[in-house]
Structures are given as structure tokens and as C-alpha cells.
Amino acid sequence: MPSEYLGVLIFLMVATAFSIGALVLGEFFRLRRPYAEKLMPYESGNIPVGEPHMRFSVKFYIIAMLFVVFDVEAVFLYPWAVVFDKIGLYAFVEMVIFIVILFVGYIYAWRKEAFVWD
């Protein structure tokens, strides 16, 4: 029997007991003031029940596209920052160019009022 796994077993037992215990204890002590909105499943503010072909505003697509653009920027920035001191000046210049190009996209989106909701 590999005894080094004993700690994991104890951790599992404690974690299970703690989470069940917290739920059971909460049941006794917490206030209960239900109303319709609170009982609804959380769907980021959308009404969760309805027709499957629900239409939602086209503005969400613009937000999604902007998110993708700046998300990709973040994805590139992290590994670059980690090895920054090893890869030299050229990589720094290249990243500056990359961010400048994204910044152009940012200015374009801003001037085209992509950040204005109404």
C-alpha cells in the first residue's frame, strides 16, 4: 500500500466533509427570501426559457470581435513577457510593431463608434 497517498485520501475526505457540511449548515442558518428573478438559472442576464431561435442584438457580435482581438493580444503578450530578457531587442521591436497594429485597430473601432452601445 503506497502510504504516501494517505495525505491525498485525508484531503479528499476533509474536502468532501467540508463542502457537504457547509451546504447542510447553511440550510439551517441562512435567510430565505425567494422571488422570481432569484430562482431563475443564471444566464448572464438573458431569460433562460423561450424559443430556441431567439434573436439578440447584433451589437453583441461587435463586442465579441473586439474581445477576440484584444484577447489574442494578451495571449501573445504573456509568453513574450516571460522570456523577455532572453530574446533581445529585435523581439521587443517586433512586439511594439504588433501592438501598434492592434492600436490602429483600436483607433479604427473607436472612431467607428464600436464602443458606443446606443
For residue 7, the minimal CB distance to other proteins (Å) is 41
- Closest approach, Cβ 72 to other proteins, in A, equals 14
Smallest gap, in angstroms, from Cβ of residue 77 to other proteins? 17
Which bin fits 46, alpha (ψ -120 to 50), beta or left (φ > 0)?
Answer: beta
> Which residue, 8 or 83, is less far from other proteins as judged by CB?
83
Query: Which residue lies nearer to other proteins by CB, 11 or 108?
Result: 108
Which of 9, 100 has the CB closer to other proteins? 100
Residues of the shown chain interacting with other proteins in the complex, contacts defined by CB under 8 A: 86-91, 101, 104, 107-108, 111
Length of the chain in residues, anyone?
A: 118
Question: Is the Cβ of residue 29 or residue 90 nearer to other proteins in the bound state?
Answer: 90
Q: Which segments of 44-108 are extended strands (E)?
A: none
C-beta of residue 37 within 8 angstroms of C-beta of residue 48? no
Task: Kindly tell me the burial class for residue 52, based on how many C-beta atoms sit within 10 Å of its own C-beta (0-12, 13-18, 19 or more).
Answer: exposed
Min dist. Cβ of residue 100 to other proteins (A) = 9
**Of the candidates 61, 56, 59, the residue with the CA atom closest to the CA atom of residue 45:** 56
